[in-house]
Chains A and B, each alone.
Chain A
Amino acid sequence: MTTSNSLGHGRPTRRGFCAGAAAALGAATARFGSAMPLAPAAGRDTVVLVYLRGGLDGLSACVPTFEEGALQAQRPGLLVPTGSSSGAVDLDGSFALHPSLVPLEGMYRDGELAFLHAVGGADPTRSHFAARRAIDAGVVGSAVQGAPGGWAGRALREIPQLTSRGPRGLALGSVLPRTLSGGPRVLPVHEPGSFSDYGDTSTSERRREALRMMHGGVSSVLESALLPVRIAQSGVTALGALDALGELDFDRPPAPGATYPDTLLGARLRDAATLTLENVGLDVIHVEEGDWDDHDDMGPVTGDLASRLDDLGRSLAAFRQDIGTAISRTTVLVYSEFGRRVDENGSRGTDHGRGGLAFAFGGNVNGGQVLGAWPGLGPGALDDGAVRVTTDFRDVFAELLQKRLQLQSLGTAFPGHAPVPVGLFR
Chain B
Amino acid sequence: MGLQQASRSSFAKRSVAEPRGGSAGESPELWNPQTSSLDLGEAGLRRSLMARATFGHQREDRMELDALGPDAWLARQLDPELIDDGALDQRLNAYPWLGTSSSPGMDADQLRQAYGGGGWRLSEESKAVRILRAKDSRRQLFERVVDLWNDHFNIPFTAQEANYLRPVHEERVIRAHALGSFPNLLMAVAQSPAMAAYLDQDSNRAGQPNENYARELLELHTLGEGNGYTEADVREVARAFTGWTFVRHWESGPYGTFRFDPSVHDAGPKVVLGQPVVGTGVNQGIRLVEKLARDPRTARTVATKLVRRFLGDDAAAGLVDLGGESLVQRVTDVYLATGGEIKAMLAEILGQEALRAVQPWRRRMLKQPFHYAISFLRALDVTITDPTTAIYGFAGLGQVPFEWPDPDGYPDDSEAWVGNLAPRWRFASAVLNGWTSWASLAPGQLANLCAVAGPAQWGRCVSSALTGGELTREDVTALQDFVDGAPGVPGPADLIATFELGASSPSFQTY
Binding site for B on A (CB under 8 A): 1-7, 9, 11, 53-54, 125-130, 173-176, 178, 181, 186-188, 190-191, 195, 197-200, 202-203, 206-207, 209-211, 213-215, 226-228, 230-232, 234-235, 237-238, 241-242, 290-291, 293, 295-296, 344-347, 349, 351-352, 384
Return chain A residues, CB-CB under 8 Å to B435: 4, 11
Complex Cα spacing A404 to B108, Å: 54
Q: Is B433 an interface residue (CB 8 A)?
A: yes
Complex Cα spacing A232 to B421, Å: 10
Return chain A residues, CB-CB under 8 Å to B23: 228
- Stretch with Cβ within 8 A of A (4 or more), from B133-141, B184-192, B209-217: B209-217
Which of A4, A209, A296 makes the CB contact (< 8 A) with B200?
Answer: A296
Q: Is B426 an interface residue (CB 8 A)?
A: yes
Complex Cα spacing A191 to B426, Å: 12
Complex Cα spacing A4 to B493, Å: 8
- Stretch with Cβ within 8 A of A (4 or more), from B36-44, B324-332, B339-347, B392-400: B392-400
Which of B25, B203, B506 makes the CB contact (< 8 A) with A347?
Answer: B203
Complex Cα spacing A230 to B24, Å: 12
Some 14 contacts from A to B, beta carbons below 8 A apart, are A4-B433, A127-B215, A127-B225, A174-B397, A187-B420, A190-B396, A191-B396, A203-B494, A203-B497, A207-B482, A213-B478, A227-B366, A293-B212, A352-B211
Are B226 and A188 in contact (CB-based, < 8 A)?
A: no
Which residue of chain A has the shortest Cβ distance to B494 in the bound complex? A203
Q: Is B123 an interface residue (CB 8 A)?
A: no
Q: Is B430 an interface residue (CB 8 A)?
A: yes
Which residue of chain B has the shortest Cβ distance to A129 in the bound complex? B408
Q: Which of B436-466 contact A (CB under 8 A)?
A: 440-441, 443-444, 446-447
Known: A125-B226, A207-B482. A198 touches B426 (CB 8 A): yes
Which residue of chain B has the shortest Cβ distance to A218 in the bound complex? B506
Are A3 and B506 in contact (CB-based, < 8 A)?
A: no
Return chain A residues, CB-CB under 8 Å to B411: 175
Are B492 and A7 in contact (CB-based, < 8 A)?
A: yes
Which of A129, A227, A242, A345 makes the CB contact (< 8 A) with B210?
Answer: A345
Complex Cα spacing A202 to B496, Å: 11
Are B501 and A207 in contact (CB-based, < 8 A)?
A: yes
Return chain B residues, CB-CB under 8 Å to A174: 369, 397-399, 420, 423
Complex Cα spacing A238 to B425, Å: 10
Complex Cα spacing A227 to B418, Å: 8
Are B415 and A231 in contact (CB-based, < 8 A)?
A: no
Return chain B residues, CB-CB under 8 Å to A11: 433, 435
How far does the Cβ of B41 sit from chain A's closest Cβ, in whole Å? 22
Return chain B residues, CB-CB under 8 Å to A7: 491-493, 496
Which residue of chain A has the shortest Cβ distance to B365 in the bound complex? A227
Complex Cα spacing A199 to B501, Å: 11
Q: Is B290 an interface residue (CB 8 A)?
A: no
Complex Cα spacing A3 to B497, Å: 12
Q: Is B71 an interface residue (CB 8 A)?
A: no
Return chain B residues, CB-CB under 8 Å to A178: 415
Q: CB-defined interface of B418-434 with A at 8 Å, one 1/0 digit per residue?
A: 11111101100110111
Are B417 and A5 in contact (CB-based, < 8 A)?
A: no
Are A214 and B474 in contact (CB-based, < 8 A)?
A: yes
Complex Cα spacing A197 to B24, Å: 29
Which residue of chain A has the shortest Cβ distance to B472 in the bound complex? A228
How far does the Cβ of B393 sit from chain A's closest Cβ, in whole Å? 12
How far does the Cβ of B130 sit from chain A's closest Cβ, in whole Å? 17
Q: Is B34 an interface residue (CB 8 A)?
A: no
Q: CB-defined interface of B487-511 with A at 8 Å, one 1/0 digit per residue?
A: 0000111101100110011100110
Complex Cα spacing A200 to B417, Å: 26
Known: A130-B225, A227-B366, A351-B211. A1 touches B493 (CB 8 A): no
- The number of residues on chain B lying at the interface, defined by a beta carbon within 8 Å of a beta carbon of chain A, is 78
Q: Is B414 an interface residue (CB 8 A)?
A: yes
Which residue of chain B has the shortest Cβ distance to A183 in the bound complex? B419
Complex Cα spacing A273 to B482, Å: 38
Q: Is B94 an interface residue (CB 8 A)?
A: no
Known: A4-B435, A210-B479, A228-B23. A190 touches B423 (CB 8 A): yes
How far does the Cβ of A157 sit from chain B's closest Cβ, in whole Å? 15
Complex Cα spacing A155 to B47, Å: 41
Complex Cα spacing A238 to B424, Å: 11
20 more CB-based (< 8 A) A-B contacts, given A5-B434, A200-B497: A4-B435, A7-B493, A9-B493, A128-B406, A128-B408, A129-B220, A174-B369, A175-B417, A175-B420, A186-B419, A190-B398, A206-B486, A228-B364, A231-B366, A231-B510, A235-B421, A291-B405, A345-B208, A345-B209, A351-B210
Are A187 and B419 in contact (CB-based, < 8 A)?
A: yes
Return chain A residues, CB-CB under 8 Å to B433: 3-4, 9, 11, 199-200
Q: Is B475 an interface residue (CB 8 A)?
A: yes
Q: CB-defined interface of B221-246 with A at 8 Å, one 1/0 digit per residue?
A: 00001100001001000000000000
Q: Is B204 an interface residue (CB 8 A)?
A: yes
How far does the Cβ of B36 sit from chain A's closest Cβ, in whole Å? 25
Are A214 and B415 in contact (CB-based, < 8 A)?
A: no
Q: Is B205 an interface residue (CB 8 A)?
A: yes
Are B419 and A188 in contact (CB-based, < 8 A)?
A: yes
Known: A3-B434, A290-B405, A349-B210. A231 touches B397 (CB 8 A): no
Q: Is B89 an interface residue (CB 8 A)?
A: no
How far does the Cβ of A197 sit from chain B's closest Cβ, in whole Å? 8
Which of A9, A231, A351 makes the CB contact (< 8 A) with B509?
Answer: A231
Known: A227-B414, A230-B414. A129 touches B510 (CB 8 A): no
Complex Cα spacing A229 to B99, Å: 45
Which residue of chain B has the shortest Cβ distance to A182 in the bound complex? B415
Complex Cα spacing A209 to B501, Å: 11
Are A234 and B418 in contact (CB-based, < 8 A)?
A: yes
Q: Is B485 an interface residue (CB 8 A)?
A: yes
Q: Is B416 an interface residue (CB 8 A)?
A: yes
Return chain A residues, CB-CB under 8 Å to B200: 295-296, 347, 349
In the complex, the 5 A-B pairs of residues with the closest C-beta atoms, listed nearest first? A174-B398, A346-B208, A347-B203, A1-B434, A4-B434
How far does the Cβ of A152 sit from chain B's closest Cβ, in whole Å? 14
Return chain A residues, CB-CB under 8 Å to B496: 3-4, 7, 200
Return chain A residues, CB-CB under 8 Å to B365: 227
Complex Cα spacing A238 to B478, Å: 18
Known: A3-B441, A190-B396, A345-B209. A200 touches B429 (CB 8 A): yes
Are B510 and A227 in contact (CB-based, < 8 A)?
A: yes
Are B420 and A176 in contact (CB-based, < 8 A)?
A: yes
Q: Is B81 an interface residue (CB 8 A)?
A: no
Return chain B residues, CB-CB under 8 Å to A351: 210-212
Are A1 and B441 in contact (CB-based, < 8 A)?
A: yes
Q: Is B79 an interface residue (CB 8 A)?
A: no
How far does the Cβ of B415 sit from chain A's closest Cβ, in whole Å? 5
Most buried by B among A173, A228, A235, A238: A228
Complex Cα spacing A191 to B494, Å: 27
Are A242 and B422 in contact (CB-based, < 8 A)?
A: yes
Q: Is B481 an interface residue (CB 8 A)?
A: yes
Are A210 and B417 in contact (CB-based, < 8 A)?
A: no
Q: Is B86 an interface residue (CB 8 A)?
A: no
Q: Which of B16-57 contact A (CB under 8 A)?
A: 23-25
Are A230 and B212 in contact (CB-based, < 8 A)?
A: no
How far does the Cβ of B422 sit from chain A's closest Cβ, in whole Å? 4
Known: A188-B420, A206-B485, A228-B506. A176 touches B415 (CB 8 A): yes
Are A214 and B211 in contact (CB-based, < 8 A)?
A: no
Known: A174-B399, A203-B493. A129 touches B219 (CB 8 A): yes
Complex Cα spacing A4 to B491, Å: 12
Return chain A residues, CB-CB under 8 Å to B432: 3
Complex Cα spacing A174 to B446, Å: 30
Which residue of chain B has the shortest Cβ distance to A238 in the bound complex? B422
Return chain B residues, CB-CB under 8 Å to A242: 422
Are B415 and A238 in contact (CB-based, < 8 A)?
A: no
Known: A9-B493, A128-B406. A3 touches B225 (CB 8 A): no
How far does the Cβ of B149 sit from chain A's closest Cβ, in whole Å? 18
Which residue of chain A has the shortest Cβ distance to B160 in the bound complex? A296
Return chain A residues, CB-CB under 8 Å to B425: 198-199, 211, 238
